[in-house]
């Protein structure tokens, strides 16, 4: 007996859809688009609500640009955005150039990990959908964060120069080439790699990042 005939026989005996794909039981995922088409394609739509994400990469790899794009995307979707600047690295002009509304960005400067956890837990208790960014945390207590976010509509996004272990969603950025106009550097092309995700396999795409005009004019060969 073929599998199709077996399923048909079981359904005739016990009812329609007695057997069904396990994927049908997967919980619905709320996704938050990053605003960068290549990244959203890689992520099948965007960041996963309730998950701990990490964007990693060296300077001029696109990691910071992708973070700022995600902040702007969350604001455009009407969500509050909280920025925990643990390394004092926020670049307001570049963030604004990526579309971040600085007047609506809730900033905690020089946040310690203890302060960050306290704030994340407090926001989770409010059950208010929002995006929380952690800029350059030295480490993340993943077990605590997973417990805090388990039933909360929060999206947590860490930025790190190197991959952080155990992330539920991990994106790695690596610059591949510069884009020029004449002697001016106006942007770059990066490889984005998805190395961890609860629902998706490893894959990668190429993304183009612009350099703000005032910086491009001074970046010459």
Domain positions in the chain are 29-216
C-alpha 184/C-alpha 141 separation (Å) is 43
Report if pTM > 0.75. Answer: yes
Residue 57: what are its φ and ψ, rounded to 5°?
A: 165, 155
Residue 40: what are its φ and ψ, rounded to 5°?
A: -65, -35
Percent of the chain with pLDDT over 70: 82
pLDDT on residue 121: 94
Band of the pLDDT at 11, cuts 50, 70, 90?
low
Band of the pLDDT at 20, cuts 50, 70, 90?
low
- Give every CB contact of residue 122 below 8 A, 6+ residues apart in sequence: none
Q: What CATH code would you report for 29-216?
A: 3.40.50.300
Residue 31: what are its φ and ψ, rounded to 5°?
A: -115, 140
- pLDDT (tens digit per residue) in 133-158: 999 887 788 889 999 998 899 999 99
- In degrees, rounded to 5, the angle at the alpha carbon of residue 68 between the alpha carbons of residues 53 and 200 is 30
- pLDDT (tens digit per residue) in 91-139: 999 999 999 999 999 999 887 888 899 999 999 999 989 999 999 887 7
pLDDT on residue 210: 84
Instruction: Report DSSP letters for the chain, one per residue.
Output: --HHHHHHHHHHHH-TTSS--GGGGSPP--EE--S-HHHHHHTTTSEETT-EEEEE--TTSSHHHHHHHHHHHHHHTT--EEEEESSS---HHHHHHTT--GGGEEEEET--HHHHHHHHHHHHHHT--EEEEEES-S---HHHHHHHHTTS-EEEEEEESSPPTT-SEEEEEEEEEEEEETTEEEEEEEEEEEEE-SS---EEEEEEEEPPHHHHTT-B-
């Amino acid at each position: 007996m073929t599998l199709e005939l077996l399923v048909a026989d079981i359904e005739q005996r016990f009812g329609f859809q007695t057997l069904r794909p396990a994927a049908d039981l997967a919980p619905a995922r709320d996704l938050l688009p990053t605003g960068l088409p290549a990244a959203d394609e890689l992520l099948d739509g965007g960041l996963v609500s309730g998950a701990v994400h990490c964007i990693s990469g060296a300077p001029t790899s696109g990691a910071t640009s992708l973070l700022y794009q995600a902040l702007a995307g969350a604001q455009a979707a009407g969500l509050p955005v909280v920025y925990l600047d643990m390394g004092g690295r926020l670049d307001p002009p570049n963030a604004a150039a990526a579309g971040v509304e600085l007047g609506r960005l809730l900033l905690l400067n020089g946040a310690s990990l203890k302060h960050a956890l306290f704030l994340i837990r407090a926001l989770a208790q409010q059950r208010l959908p929002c995006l929380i960014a952690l800029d350059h945390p030295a480490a993340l207590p993943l077990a605590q964060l997973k417990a805090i976010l388990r039933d909360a509509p929060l999206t947590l996004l860490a930025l790190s120069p190197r991959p952080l272990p155990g992330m539920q969603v991990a994106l790695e950025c690596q610059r591949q080439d510069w884009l020029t106009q004449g002697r001016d550097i106006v942007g770059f092309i990066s490889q984005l790699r998805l190395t961890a995700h609860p629902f998706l396999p490893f894959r990668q795409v190429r993304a183009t990042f612009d350099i703000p005009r005032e910086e491009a004019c001074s970046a010459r060969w």
